[in-house]
Copies of this chain bind each other. A is one copy, B any other.
Amino acid sequence: MKIHIVKIGGHLINDQKILNDVLKNFCKLQGYKVLIHGGGRKADFILNKMGISKNIVQGRRITDKETLDIVVMTYAGIINKNIVAILQSNHCNALGLCGADGNSIQSYLRNNININYGYVGDINKQSINTHFIKFLLNQKIIPVFCSITHNGIGDLLNTNADTIASYIAISLAKEKNNEINLHFCFEKQGVLRDLHNPKSYFQRINFHSFQEMKKNHTIKNGMIPKLENAFFALKNGVSQVSIGLPNHYLNDMNNNTILCL
């Protein structure tokens, strides 16, 4: 079966009108599908309003217990349930999930000898409960994942949403006869050559050109881990990975950046 794995993040989450449009387009996507969402800026807004200051150690943000609680409330609470309610109003039978629900994504505490990141969970190929996700898809239920996982001993952990999308795609690609399309959606039309020119997106990037562009700094900052997740997925059986505006690629795949090995 063909399955679309769609990750939405960035400004697509922050603006309710844009989010409504994105979700309407997601509903039009034919066949099996899974949605993964990031948290946008809402958690920062609430942390700020509650007077909880950012805990930064060696330039890295630490998820302490107080911050985790707000992140869980925001991602698994208001953002996830708002998305599910909108999808339901568009006759799309969505089910909101964090990794603890149905034991769908089990993570482990990030192990870094230099920095204790706090309640941050990393995942691997064994983390995804493929059986449960397939069981939902076979019932025409659309899983909507937020980026909260659990460690199996009672703790909720904050996990990168792009990484969750990649591993869900990889785990479903392991099954015979599955064709997995992974879409990383954000507010730009694709990976841009020039950040100041929204039309300057690459139509295709292969793994070799990605390595070159990292070296010469054409691609930098947050786009590097996103593309690393994307190539990791392609190397592990995912059929196609695209990056760009969701409205466009649902109608026309050529209007985004397509990644290939």
Residues of A within 8 A of B (CB): 46, 49-51, 69, 72-78, 80-82, 84-86, 88-89, 93-98, 100-103, 135, 139, 141, 148, 150, 152-156
Contacts and interface: CB of A to CB of B under 8 A. Distances in A.
Contact of A78 (B73, B80, B93, B135): B73
A89 to B, nearest CB: 4
A156 B100 contact: no
Contact of A153 (B89, B94, B150): B89
B88 A103 contact: yes
Nearest to A20: B154
A112 B198 CA distance: 51
A73 B77 CA distance: 4
A92 to B, nearest CB: 10
Nearest to A77: B77
B102 A141 contact: yes
Instruction: Name, among A69, A77, A82, A84, the residue most crowded by chain B CB atoms within 10 Å (CB to CB).
Output: A77
A139 B77 CA distance: 25
The 10 A-B pairs with the shortest beta carbon distances in the complex, nearest first, are A77-B77, A73-B77, A89-B154, A73-B73, A85-B100, A84-B100, A85-B150, A73-B78, A95-B102, A95-B101
A154 B85 contact: yes
B72 A98 contact: no
A49 B52 CA distance: 10
Contacts of A93: 102-103
Contact of A69 (B50, B78, B95): B78
Given A46-B50, A101-B96, A154 B86 contact: yes
A82 B69 CA distance: 9
A72 B76 contact: no
